[in-house]
């Protein structure tokens, strides 16, 4: 480990002292201005860097491109204006000496004709997707890296937003408005991906460590309810992420070391400057072993290993359109050995040795081509791959010998086609039609003999099924104040012929410049996790039967009302109330407390047979966001949610769901100080405080567990009857950025102390077969994380 660290320091020093090209005048801000709806370039648009003296500006050329040179390091607002279009202001743009700023600036046409209308977008609440009316927000790479306690993870960033809860230091599962994390859809560059995390398991959408590198992300969208018609097979929310293009004019590089993210190297640059083609490649290798060596707790005494690579190759524009090749791949593994753990370990069992590994990958080819001036096709073809392998050895109490008692191997390959035809009919009407085909190849093998001398086969299948989705969406602006979104989504599962028809609606009314109201409705349907469909029940004669293959979609209806108030240019208050009805939820045929709405509450797969779509559930709540966007050197945000999440099982009893925390609130703030000659350097302090209601759980039956020598939960009458203590965490972060005055070089050092108060947040109550007692496992205590980053 020390050799790796020495190599990193030596390599970094070599690059810093290399003959890096001098930048005597300053940095470059460049990009493209285009119609946000039709995607057509806009020539003649004026782009101004506000706050510069003399004022720095440029005018876009015939291809919509602009370039502004000589910009000193710092934060700026960027204004874009063009006759007939609404003025756009991009706030708090970060310029460093080590990297050019490249922007794609979509502007919206004015409904009333060619007069110039000033509509500032400094609120940053507008999504990249133009078809959103409610419950949506965009976020940037800079925000992912800025907030305290974020661990460079987009999911943990989203946990700061209203309506989202993630009170778990060990995983980044997102509970959106009381829904299971299984209901979240992840999409990268238009390609649906089951789970973009290291150490992921089948049937889940979260994991301990994200495989998504925030340094390759462009501004992306996050939706919590009633999302547009193009998104399907999700009940809770949507993460719509995109990789940014590499620099098409100059070569740039990044090297980074972090206690959690590991050692990272990224390079980008032009392939053909004349065509505007470029590449971007980033690789990360975990350094958690180093964190353990210096005494930092990571939730387990076992050493996790993980690595990932991300890339994007952009062809530039041509007569055949624009082609983009993108991909992501990750590998991870960990071993939990019974004689190497202690009582603080969150994951291991003192009576077992377990070995887990997982692989994930995606690769896609994206094609964009214009059809005339107002229409275009956008098509993505690709494949996603996810595999995991889990082995468990039981340790004999008498002699310590081990016997393999559980084998679980899964492999999923999805082949995806996602195509859409988009038309800007006029300034008022935009239409979008699309088709998504997802062929799912499944290889599931799972057998267990923990409590029997012979193996019990649970899964043993190699099968294929297809999910077909189609949608239509229309956006109509009656005038500058009133906009209507209407859509229809449909799904068909070839496995059993299940179908769904899902209407969507959104309405937004801009009463005045400061006040806006919104309303949304959406019917959303989702398939069950693939392991549930192919679960096998063993018959008395030893044969197995698949008893869940006829399950239909779980349906969810979302109702949302919203109010948005902007008292000042850099302040915003937003509130939403919502009600969600869930139906067709899989429950058992016999009376019990089981419901698929609680899937994802643990690492374990769902091993329940003979399920039927007869359960239901409700989620309702109110949310508030008060936000001061980054300006004048500081920012702040307070988000709060009050909610209730219930389900009704086959015994006709209503219970709290496993995700019903009742409330959550976050307080975030940060201050940046300009230092050094010409104020080129920046010292920043950030904090985050989170408190969330404890989740409900079913208590352990200690007496029954002792008799079975294994954890046994209490009966249905005690299901989700007890509640963990509230989750509380304070994170503090300090960062210092140094921008070279003579070279294209910037360096950032960050020290992020998570759970500063060392609060003992409960992870779980679980039975210990060695001691025969029920123990409380706690989450990670105080955790100092550091990151060193150099760009040149």
- Summarised one tens digit per residue, pLDDT across range 681-734 is 999 999 999 999 999 999 999 999 999 888 899 999 999 999 999 999 999 999
Distance of CA 322 to the CA centre of its chain: 26
Contact at 8 Å (CB) between 266 and 284?
no
List beta partners, residue 77: 50
Q: How far apart are CA 270 and CA 278, in angstroms?
A: 4
Contact at 8 Å (CB) between 191 and 437?
no
Q: How far apart are CA 681 and CA 96, in angstroms?
A: 9
For the CA atoms of 132, 136, 139, 145, the dihedral, rounded to the nearest 10 degrees, stands at -160
Please provide the distance, in angstroms rounded to a whole number, between the alpha carbons at the two ends of the chain: 26
pLDDT of 745 reads: 95
Rounded to the nearest 5°, which phi and psi values hold at 287? -125, 30
Q: In whole angstroms, how far apart are CA 675 and each of 258, 539, 630, 679, 682?
A: 24, 73, 18, 5, 6
pLDDT of 451 reads: 81
Average pLDDT, the chain: 90
pLDDT at 269 over 50: yes
Contact at 8 Å (CB) between 264 and 270?
no
pTM of the model as a whole: 0.91
pLDDT at 631 over 60: yes
Contact at 8 Å (CB) between 666 and 690?
yes
Of 499-503, 677-681, 742-746, 765-769, least confident by mean pLDDT is: 765-769
- Give the full edge-to-edge strand order of the sheet including 27-35: 65-71, 27-35, 101-107
| Strongest mean pLDDT among 338-352, 542-556, 626-640 | 626-640
pLDDT of 677 reads: 83
Binned at pLDDT 50, 70 and 90, residue 291 comes out as low
Binned at pLDDT 50, 70 and 90, residue 772 comes out as confident
Two tokens, residue 384: 């996603």
pLDDT at 634 over 70: yes
Q: Which residue has the tokens 């906009």?
A: 483
Q: In whole angstroms, how far apart are CA 230 and each of 107, 190, 544, 567, 587?
A: 22, 10, 39, 33, 29
**pLDDT, mean of residues 159-188:** 94
Q: pLDDT > 70: what percent of the chain? A: 91
Two tokens, residue 459: 């899964």
**pLDDT, mean of residues 169-177:** 92
Contact at 8 Å (CB) between 235 and 558?
no
pLDDT of 124 reads: 60
- Per-residue pLDDT tens over the stretch 414-439: 999 999 999 999 999 999 999 999 99
pLDDT of 453 reads: 87
**pLDDT, mean of residues 118-138:** 75
Binned at pLDDT 50, 70 and 90, residue 297 comes out as low
DSSP code of 172? Answer: -
User: E strands along 230-374, which residues?
Assistant: 237-241, 252-258, 262-272, 277-285, 305-314, 322-336, 352-371
pLDDT of 188 reads: 97
pLDDT of 491 reads: 98
Two tokens, residue 5: 């660290």
pLDDT at 3 over 90: no
Q: Please, is 283 exposed, middle or buried when counting C-beta atoms within 10 Å of its C-beta (0-12, 13-18, 19+)?
A: middle
Q: How far apart are CA 118 and CA 89, in angstroms?
A: 10
Two tokens, residue 242: 């995109």
**pLDDT, mean of residues 147-156:** 90
Among candidates 557, 623, 602, which has minimal Cα distance to 164?
623
Contact at 8 Å (CB) between 653 and 620?
no
- DSSP string of 612-647? EEEEEEEEEEEEEEEEEEEETTEEEEEEEEEEEEEE
Q: Taking the CB of residue 634, how many other CB atoms lie within 10 A of it?
A: 14
The number of residues making up the chain comes to: 792
pLDDT of 727 reads: 96
Contact at 8 Å (CB) between 454 and 436?
no
Q: In whole angstroms, how far apart are CA 555 and each of 19, 175, 249, 586, 654?
A: 60, 18, 49, 11, 18
- Per-residue pLDDT tens over the stretch 203-248: 889 998 999 999 999 999 999 999 999 999 999 999 999 999 999 9
**pLDDT, mean of residues 766-778:** 85
Contacts of 187 (CB under 8 A, 6+ apart): 193, 231, 238, 239, 240, 241
Binned at pLDDT 50, 70 and 90, residue 653 comes out as very high
Binned at pLDDT 50, 70 and 90, residue 292 comes out as low
Contact at 8 Å (CB) between 598 and 576?
no
Among candidates 312, 313, 357, 353, which has minimal Cα distance to 334?
357
Contacts of 59 (CB under 8 A, 6+ apart): 44, 45, 46, 47, 66
pLDDT at 159 over 70: yes
Coil/strand/helix, residue 760: coil
pLDDT at 48 over 80: yes
More confident site: 412 or 677: 412
Rounded to the nearest 5°, which phi and psi values hold at 88? -125, 135
Contact at 8 Å (CB) between 87 and 47?
no
pLDDT of 2 reads: 43
What residue spans of 679-773 are helical by DSSP H? 702-708
pLDDT at 283 over 80: yes
pLDDT of 377 reads: 98
Two tokens, residue 69: 């040179």
pLDDT at 498 over 90: yes
pLDDT of 116 reads: 44
pLDDT at 13 over 60: no
Contact at 8 Å (CB) between 135 and 576?
yes
**pLDDT, mean of residues 154-167:** 93
């Amino acid at each position: 480990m020390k050799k790796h660290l020495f190599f990193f320091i030596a390599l970094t020093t070599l690059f810093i002292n290399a003959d890096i090209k001098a930048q005597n005048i300053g940095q470059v801000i460049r990009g493209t201005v285009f119609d946000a709806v039709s995607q057509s370039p806009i020539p003649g648009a004026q782009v101004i860097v506000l706050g510069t003296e003399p004022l720095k500006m440029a005018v876009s050329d015939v291809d919509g491109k602009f370039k502004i040179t000589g910009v000193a390091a710092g934060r700026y607002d960027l204004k874009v204006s063009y006759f007939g279009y609404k003025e756009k202001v991009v706030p708090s743009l970060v310029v460093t000496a080590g990297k050019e700023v490249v922007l794609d600036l979509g502007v919206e046409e004015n409904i009333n004709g060619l007069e110039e209308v000033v509509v500032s977008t400094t609120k940053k609440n507008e999504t990249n997707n133009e078809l959103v009316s409610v419950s949506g927000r965009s976020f940037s790479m800079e925000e992912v890296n800025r907030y305290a306690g974020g661990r460079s993870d987009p999911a943990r960033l989203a946990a700061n937003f209203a309506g989202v809860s993630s009170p778990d230091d060990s995983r980044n599962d997102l509970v959106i408005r009381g829904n299971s994390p299984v209901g979240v859809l992840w999409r990268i560059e238009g390609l649906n991906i089951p789970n973009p995390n290291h150490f992921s398991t089948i049937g889940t959408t979260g994991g301990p460590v994200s495989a998504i590198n925030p340094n390759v992300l462009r501004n992306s969208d996050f939706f919590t309810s009633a999302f547009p018609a193009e998104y399907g097979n999700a009940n809770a929310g949507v993460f719509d992420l995109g990789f940014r293009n590499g620099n098409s004019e100059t070569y740039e590089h990044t090297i980074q070391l972090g206690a959690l993210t590991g050692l990272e190297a990224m390079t980008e640059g032009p392939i053909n400057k004349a065509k505007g083609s470029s590449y971007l490649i980033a690789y990360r290798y975990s350094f958690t072993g180093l964190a353990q060596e210096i005494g930092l707790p990571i939730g387990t005494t076992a050493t996790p290993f993980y690595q990932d690579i991300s890339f994007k190759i952009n062809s530039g524009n041509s007569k055949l359109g624009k082609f983009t090749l993108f991909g992501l791949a990750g590998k991870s593994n960990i071993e939990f050995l019974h004689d190497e753990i202690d009582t603080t370990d969150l994951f291991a069992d003192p009576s077992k040795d377990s070995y887990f590994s997982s692989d994930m990958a995606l690769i896609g080819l994206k094609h964009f081509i214009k059809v005339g001036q107002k229409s275009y096709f956008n098509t993505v073809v690709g494949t996603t791959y996810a595999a995991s392998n889990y082995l468990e050895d039981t340790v004999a109490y008498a002699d310590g010998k081990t016997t393999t008692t559980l084998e679980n191997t899964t492999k999923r390959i999805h082949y995806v086609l996602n195509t859409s035809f988009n038309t800007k009919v006029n300034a008022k009407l935009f239409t979008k039609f699309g088709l998504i085909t997802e062929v799912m190849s499944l290889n599931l093998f799972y057998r267990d003999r923990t409590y029997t001398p012979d193996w019990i086969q649970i899964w043993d299948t190699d099968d294929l099924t297809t999910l077909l989705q189609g949608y239509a969406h229309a956006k109509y602006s009656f005038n500058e104040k009133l906009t209507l979104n209407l859509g229809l989504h449909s799904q068909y599962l070839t496995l059993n012929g299940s179908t769904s028809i899902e209407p969507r609606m959104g309405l937004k009314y801009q009463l005045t410049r400061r006040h806006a109201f919104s309303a949304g409705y959406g019917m959303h349907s989702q398939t069950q996790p693939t392991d549930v469909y192919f679960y096998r029940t063993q018959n008395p004669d030893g044969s197995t039967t698949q008893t869940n293959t006829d399950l239909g979609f779980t349906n969810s209806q979302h109702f949302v009302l919203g109010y948005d108030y902007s008292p000042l240019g850099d302040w915003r208050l937003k509130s939403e109330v919502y009600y969600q009805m869930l139906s067709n939820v899989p429950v058992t045929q016999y009376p019990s407390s089981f419901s698929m709405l609680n899937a994802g509450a643990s690492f374990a797969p769902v091993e329940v047979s003979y399920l039927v779509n007869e359960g239901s559930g409700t989620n309702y709540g109110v949310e508030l966001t008060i936000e001061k966007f980054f300006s004048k050197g500081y920012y702040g945000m307070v988000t709060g949610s009050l909610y209730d999440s219930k389900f009704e099982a086959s015994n006709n009893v209503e219970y709290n769901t496993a995700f019903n925390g009742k409330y959550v609130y976050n307080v975030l703030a940060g201050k940046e100080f300009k230092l050094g000659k010409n104020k080129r350097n920046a010292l920043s302090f950030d904090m985050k405080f989170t408190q969330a209601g404890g989740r409900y759980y079913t208590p352990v039956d200690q007496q029954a567990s002792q008799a079975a020598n294994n954890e046994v939960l209490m009966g249905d009458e005690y299901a989700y009857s007890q509640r963990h203590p509230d989750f509380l965490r304070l994170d503090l972060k300090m960062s210092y950025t140094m921008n070279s005055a003579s070279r294209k070089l910037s360096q950032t050092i960050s020290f992020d102390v998570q759970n500063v108060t060392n609060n003992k947040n409960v992870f779980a109550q679980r039975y210990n077969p060695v001691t025969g007692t029920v123990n409380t496992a706690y989450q990670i205590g105080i955790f100092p994380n550091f990151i060193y980053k150099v760009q040149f």
